Structure 1
Amino acid sequence: MLRQFTTSLMFQTRGRGLLEVTSGIAGWAAGTGVAEGLLTVFVRHTSASLLIQENADPDVRGDLDRFFARLVPDGDPLFRHRDEGPDDMPAHVRAALTAVQLSIPLSGSRLALGTWQGIYLWEHRTRPHRRELVLHLLGA
């Protein structure tokens, strides 16, 4: 019989950058007792996103940040929307180019992530923010 569970997890970011959230999500999923299923993780914001990425070498996260800084620079005169500062519209574009939702299989009561994979909340604003992730798990 399939069961489903939902929850929200809050995370405080330090400003722009990738914050690994794997352990909090994995801990919640394991606590549901579901052995096999599918977990959906959704970020409830328009200036942050989700990413599955390497969690071994911190240079990967730095390189991603530097690439996006080049691709979508703060203060770009192309953007008119600047209600909350020069990083406002670039943060929205960065979120649009990445993902606000992830689907992760659960196998043997564990997230079916690869050896070097972690789940990251990617803060695109330069200031710290409190971000909410909604989790939905369907399985048996």
Structure 2
Amino acid sequence: MRQAVDRLEVRTQGAGLVEITGEVRRWVTRQGMQTGLLTLFCRHTSASLLIQENADPDVQTDLERYFAELAPEAPGRYVHDAEGPDDMPAHLRAALTQSQLSIPVSEGRPLLGTWQGVYLFEHRRAPHRREVAMHLLGE
């Protein structure tokens, strides 16, 4: 059994979904493990990770709209607003999604479905540099 650990830096342009499937696949391939378990972990409290459809961009549009309605920016609504009106809504959106994903690896590739992609979901309006920890355990 072997393991590998690395970090992926993701630059966001502000709120929205950033697909990282290609970077993750390339990293897994470079590790040379045929079978294993890949863990991805978002090291932030105002961004998250999703596995979602990557064929139709309307899916991302609808997801972003849904979360904006679910946890709206509303001045005076939240006690925590230390970093601006998008601060607490970003934390709520991250709490409702995932900070960690587990993806099986077989034949040297993540076992994602045909239309599945891995996304970093930026919940803040300003551009950020986000970090996703990648851990692969396998052989």
Q: TM-score by structure 2 length? A: 0.98
RMSD: 0.7
**Partner residue, 1:131:** 130
Aligned residue runs from structure 1 range 16-95, under 5 A: 16-75=15-74, 77-95=76-94
- What are the Cα deviations for residues 74-95 of structure 1, in whole angstroms up to 9, with x where unaligned? 1253311111110000000000
**Number of positions where the alignment pairs a residue of Structure 1 with one of Structure 2:** 139
Measured in 1, the distance between the counterparts of 2:26 and 2:90 equals 29
Q: Specify every segment of 5 or more residues in structure 1 that has no aligned partner in the other structure, as ranges.
A: none
Q: Which runs of 4+ in 1 moved over 6 A?
A: none
**Partner residue, 2:103:** 104
SS of 1:114 mapped into structure 2: coil
Q: Report the AA paired with residue 30 of structure 1.
A: T
Measured in 2, the distance between the counterparts of 1:66 and 1:73 equals 10
% same residue = 59
Measured in 1, the distance between the counterparts of 2:70 and 2:42 equals 22
Q: Specify every segment of 5 or more residues in structure 2 that has no aligned partner in the other structure, as ranges.
A: none
